[in-house]
Amino acid sequence: MVSNDKVTLETSVEDYYRGVKLLHDPIRNKGTAFSEEERDRLGLRGLLPPKVFTQEEQIIRVLDNLQRKSTDLERYIYLMALQDRNETLFYRVVKDHLNEIMPLIYTPTVGKACRQYGHIFRRPRGLFLSARDKGRMGQVLANWPHRDVRIIVITDGERILGLGDLGANGMGIPIGKLTLYTACAGIHPTQCLPITLDVGTNNRQLLNDPLYIGLGQERLRGREYDELFDEFVDAATTRFPRAIIQLEDFANCNAFRLLREYRNRICLFDDDIQGTASVTLAGLYSAQRITKIEFKNQRLLFLGAGEAGIGIGHLIVSALKSEGLSDQAARQRCWFFDSRGLIVKQRDDLEEHKRPFAQESEHLSSFKEAIERFRPTAIIGVSGAAGSFSEPVLRQLAEINQRPIVFALSNPTSKSECSAADAYRYTGGRAVFASGSPFDPVDYEGRAFVPGQGNNAYIFPGVGLGVIACGATRITDEMFFVAAKSLASQVTESDLALGRIYPALSNIREVSAKIAVAVAELAYESALTTEKRPEDLLEHVKQLMFDPTYDN
């Protein structure tokens, strides 16, 4: 029997998922690929066109439709609609065409989508928890249809990419991140839960927009905010006890504090702080193979001292200490420049998270002057200040270094500190370049450069997969350290010859699997899991990975 659209114990899954219900279930739907036998057995005869298509033929249709769209935002909307009706086909397209599709489902296009989320809204995806749900978070989480959730990505929408406070419109970010968990590391879609915690927005444009989907109030702060988040954590860990919680795009005022509060209590991490740090460290490890300057001798100047910058700094300090430097010597390798200038001890306006990197030096207000004074081997942009790595800055860096390292990591592309073309042009083709969002290959004086993309998608899917594979109870900074080393070790000489300091995205599943093994090995060694180590850990990891092909 079926009562209130729920399957009772007396009803088999096949009896319930039949006909139109089956076609409307994105997890089980194959669309026109249902076989003749399945159409008869599952009550689909007549509900589909008569021709049976293979998945490969369906992919041709999807790609043809994408090419017909005139803008990337339209392509994003089309792909999200495909995900809503046939997840297996959607992930097969993403997996097989990751280079072309990832910029459409994540950065930079997801930034455009978030800005217009209320205007392009079609079907709800994920869970919207709001301040109105205080006292009943557990009830709301119980409405989620899948019980074996392993990854929760949550945002409160206050610092979406480099775009600022987008409130509930920020839901595009956790959806996009979890899409990459499945595409890049094979986490099954039913094990992924995107959540937006809607505590209001201070964006007046959104508050005045009649199509805004979130609460029409200013943001909660202080005790009210903390109580709401704490209730979410308690409800989520009760309902989904094996789930990782990933914090995404929280503002500085909450991100560092929440990470510090919960990281040693539950399986939680902040991707902006720890994932960005890991992918940047991997890029620096790879870059030293080009510059021939040992990692412990690098001098790093950061533009931006928020979550990403300070997170990178802390992981780099740990990496330098592992090579024999003292804590003080390691911190003296990392200099930071924020919107008010060089971060030095004499400043009285420093937030708590910046103070560990305040240096004994005179204050400078010019980034170019800081390069002249500090003579860095690398500049790392995490500022969201578009074009701040200007021609004079890049030329100055190139005067100091034979192979200057230029990481323009701000997202989306419109916020990048410089373009790939400018980095190569103003350094005479000598820059070792990486960006947060993708740039097209660059031809400079007859040589082809393929810019590296320092995208967190190289890191967080593999870390999550590793934690799931071994049942780790906590996520530590050391996991991101071993993830960075694993990622850097997978960069080939042919990658480096093209100027690329990360592996090709087409290899991302193999990359993620190896990172997962490194993370799981560390968890076993550190007694962060009680599960028995499989004899062949890599094979165990690969067996867990979802393959987006239709079951027969």
Alpha carbons 87 and 53: distance in angstroms, whole number: 16
Spatial contact of 17 and 11, defined as CB atoms under 8 Å apart: no
| Cβ-based neighbour number of residue 143 at 10 Å | 7
Strand partners, 448: 443
Q: Phi and psi (nearest 5°) for 125?
A: -140, 135
Q: Where are the beta strands (DSSP E) in 224-350?
A: 244-247, 268-270, 300-303, 334-338, 341-342
> Please, how many CA atoms are within 13 Å of residue 64, restricted to the half-sphere of its CB?
6
Tell me if residue 247 falls in helix, strand or coil.
strand
Beta-bridge mates of residue 336: 302
Neighbour tally for 517: CB within 10 Å: 24
Rg (C-alpha) for the chain, rounded Å, is 24
d(CA 481, CA 500): 21
Q: Is 106 a catalytic residue?
A: yes
> What are the beta bridge partners of residue 152?
193, 245
Cα 380 vs. chain centroid, distance in angstroms?
18
Rounded to whole angstroms, how far apart are CA atoms 354 and 232?
A: 29
**In the block, which residue shows the tokens 């810019």?**
451
Record the tokens describing residue 59, joined without a space: 């992919």
Phi, psi dihedral angles at 493 (to 5 degrees): -65, -35
**Tokens representing 354?**
């910046």
CA pair distance 180, 94, nearest whole angstrom: 9
Going by DSSP bridges, is the β-strand pair 452-453/192-198 parallel, antiparallel, or unpaired? unpaired
Q: What is the largest CA-CA distance in the chain?
A: 79
The catalytic residue among 30, 95, 112, 177 is 177
Dihedral sign for Cα 532, 537, 543, 547, please. positive
Would you say 545 and 465 are in contact if contact means Cβ atoms under 8 Å apart?
yes
Tell me the two tokens of residue 476: 């530590």
3-state secondary structure labels for all residues of 58-109: HHHHHHHHHHHCCCHHHHHHHHHHHHHHCHHHHHHHHHHCHHHHHHHHCCCH
- The rounded distance, in Å, linking the Cα atoms of 500 and 449 is 8
354 is catalytic: no
Eight-state DSSP code of residue 357: G
Distance from C-alpha of 13 to C-alpha of 549, rounded to nearest angstrom: 20
Report which of 529, 537, 467, 481 is spatially closest to residue 191, judged by C-alpha positions. Answer: 467
Q: Which of 76, 91, 106, 458 is catalytic?
A: 106
What are 294-297's contacts with CB under 8 Å, separation 24+?
Answer: 295/319, 295/320, 295/323, 296/320, 296/323, 296/324, 296/325, 297/377
> What residue type is assigned to position 472 of the chain?
A
Beta strands in 140-223 (DSSP E): 151-155, 192-198
Residues recognised as catalytic: 106, 177
